[in-house]
Amino acid sequence: MRILALMSGGLDSSMAVVRLLDRGDNVVGVTYRLVGGRSHDDPVDLAAGVARHLGIEHHLVDLSATFEEEVLAPLAAAYAAGVTPNPCVLCNPAVKLAAAVELARRMECDRLATGHYARVDHSGPTPRLLRGLDRSKDQSYFLYRVPQSTLAQLELPLGESSKQEVRAEAQRRGLQVWNRPESQDVCFGEAREMVELVAARHPEAGEPGEIVDRSGRVLGVHGGIGGFTVGQRRGLGIGGGPALYVIRIDPEERRVVVGPRDSLATRTLHLRECIWRQEGPDRGLTVMPRYRSAPLPCMVQREGSQASVHLDETLYGGAPGQSAVVYEGDTVVGGGFIAAGEG
């Protein structure tokens, strides 16, 4: 089988290629240039080096314009509006995998592959997206919006392994990236901080404003709402007294509203722009309201592209803009973006 493998220059995507080669597949590597500039530890160079080491064909594709349009611009606009998106949730379906589908067609590849720690069950009439067996590394959350047609082409060679197993195998095989640290969620490059990225596109999000309590009493000042998210406790710069959390962001007034942890208590999450991979059931489900959060038992009411997720226990948080991903056992049922939480 001829497979197009996305290579980021990191450990996981490199080992995904190794697993495919071990299986006897003909692998073509592709690496994306998502932002301008280069560093001494450039991922493109690392990916090309791994491809040479493994003796596979390798291509570089510039997707910087698409990445700006589909990820960076919406990300900055969301932060400027006081919500907190997850860039990988945006990038995987709209940029990386969307481009891979077209590249695979042009290069006459049968399947796509990535180094995500998740699984795809191809045994039934339609593919099912499943959690990775290593719960501490499971990345199915980031793939919940990938179209079914793309999922049908997707191979995830690491889904049944742990990170420790993958790293040890890479070391045994002499891959130069075996001890490379975890990559960041956003492919900015080291010099581009989130606050700077937001302020460059929306200067108003980088303007100072007030930090206030629920009654409107001023507790301090901040350097821009682009640096805050609902549920945040650290980095508020107001010190002293009981612990306070960001409970609301008011972009029009450039205000960050803080309060005690109980102010974040939520029993219902209202979702927008939902996608569903299967019809029902609406009970016996769990939801992850952010990446690496504990799955919470829930019941779901679907209303077209919107939904309400009723939790069996109280959630403290649920930042608007984050994805809430719904599971039935290990299977991804669907999910959407959090519009609001309700106590």
DSSP character for 183?
A: P
Name residue 247's amino acid. I
Q: Give CA–CA dist 42/163, Å, rounded.
A: 22
> Does residue 141 contact residue 288 with C-beta atoms inside 8 Å?
yes
Q: Give CA–CA dist 81/202, Å, rounded.
A: 10
Name residue 138's amino acid. D
Closest by CA position to 79, among listed 236, 225, 210: 225
Longest dimension (CA), the chain: 66
> Does residue 211 contact residue 238 with C-beta atoms inside 8 Å?
yes
Residues acting as catalytic residues = 91, 187
Q: Give CA–CA dist 75/68, Å, rounded.
A: 9
> Does residue 128 contact residue 277 with C-beta atoms inside 8 Å?
yes
